[in-house]
Structure 1
């Protein structure tokens, strides 16, 4: 009964945070010639991050941020994402003909997923990481990478700690980063369609943050942005596993052996 009561506290807390974030609404910050739109989703993340600090985790907040609640939230996050995935499919359908005309672009963009290895692995090695770098740089650290690393190395391994760290960092800061980056790239001259395509990086929350920021900038292109972003997200989710297994993993092993010689395995 005590455990169920903690879940009720968690549900009430989530609803209050959502209400506060929606009350704040979309806020814009002008930085030079760049207009950055901060969405309710960003405020919700910031509120939960701040309240999760140790100085606030007292009394009722300590119960809300308990290990049981954190574990429960992580375990059942996928069920919350399922309706969102269904919404992606509904967004893709009206723009299907237009999307198929540039279909090859969506496929080529999958090669961009290798950037976490090409750019991230050398930096991780220079920072002193070793086996942890394998888990941390295999991808964006979403569910696909988490599943692969946990199956191959277990989450108690160095590789597992690497992918878990990135998963947590991505969850906390990824959406905020993409929400800010999207309008900055628009101001830099990139087309809305290209940025909508690049929003589908394999993370539902990051895609939502990026596409919502683009919609806030160009509301007249809402259908196009949603369609392109959703198609990209679906394709990344589908092809991402094959890209990881057949391209990312061999490339990472090759680069790791070159940069870390004489390591005991």
Structure 2
């Protein structure tokens, strides 16, 4: 176990070094410029090496079940310094953030979008009870805890939220790092996009806001402050929005679409 853990640590350091060596890359596609962060390259590298055909020899030991379980269990400790950084980014811009605080509150209504838009689509493609877990939110820790407590992770609802959690972990940061600059090129204000970055996922928020900072470095402090404040607010109010608004709305809509099923 100790040997495998040492291999995992070395592997992580090598991937970080390679990703940082690649650095931020801006790829022009038509009139859009898509920014790819080192974080994206790190995710792509680890995803590719995790494919079965590459899992041989040392790579197989690195991707052992013990290492995967260890990484999942202690991921939160890696995120703690990032959370502290959020607070440090918010403090210098606190007065400015409070002056438009009502906007941050209104944006929490956006958390209902996964239910309003996602649930009908999920049911349309054939999901049933799985759609409840998959569309309650973006499938982060809050939704995972709520669904596991109410339905257990062995239930159809549990499979739905777990699937979304895994997909979000694998592709969320990549999607956000691409989508944010595309919206910027479409004419959205960078402050609005920074606020929209705080969806309740640290990796997704970091990917989106860092890409925006790379595109507009002169507004770096403002972007990080708005994104961090939005992330903190979403993490706090998101739970109440989910329990008291999203879950009842989802139950009503599910009953409306799937009549006769409880």
TM-score (norm 1): 0.97
- Within 5 Å, give how 1:228-239 maps onto structure 2: 228-239=226-237
> Aligned partners of 1:28, 1:102: CA distance in 2, in Å?
32
Moved over 4 A (4+): none
Name the Cα RMSD after superposition.
0.8
Task: Kindly state the Cα deviation for residue 28 of structure 1 after the two structures are TM-superposed.
Answer: 1.1
Q: Which runs of 5+ in 2 are unaligned?
A: none
Are residues 1:185 and 2:177 paired?
A: no
Are residues 1:7 and 2:5 paired?
A: yes
SS at match of 1:129: coil
> Aligned partners of 2:138, 2:54: CA distance in 1, in Å?
30
Equivalent in the alignment of 1:133: 131
Equivalent in the alignment of 1:124: 122
> Aligned partners of 1:158, 1:25: CA distance in 2, in Å?
41
Task: Kindly state the Cα deviation for residue 262 of structure 1 after the two structures are TM-superposed.
Answer: 2.3
Equivalent in the alignment of 2:109: 111
Task: Kindly state the Cα deviation for residue 73 of structure 1 after the two structures are TM-superposed.
Answer: 0.9
- Out of 10, 19, 22, the position equivalent to 1:21 is 19
> Aligned partners of 1:96, 1:41: CA distance in 2, in Å?
28
TM-score (norm 2): 0.98
- Out of 242, 257, 260, the position equivalent to 2:258 is 260
Deviations 1:172-227 (A, max 9, x none): 10000000011100100000100000000000000000000000100000000000
Which is further off, 193-202 or 58-67? 58-67
- Out of 218, 224, 246, the position equivalent to 1:220 is 218
> Aligned partners of 1:98, 1:70: CA distance in 2, in Å?
42
Deviations 1:130-174 (A, max 9, x none): 111111000000000001111111111111111010000000100
SS at match of 2:54: coil
Which is further off, 245-254 or 72-81? 72-81
Equivalent in the alignment of 1:37: 35
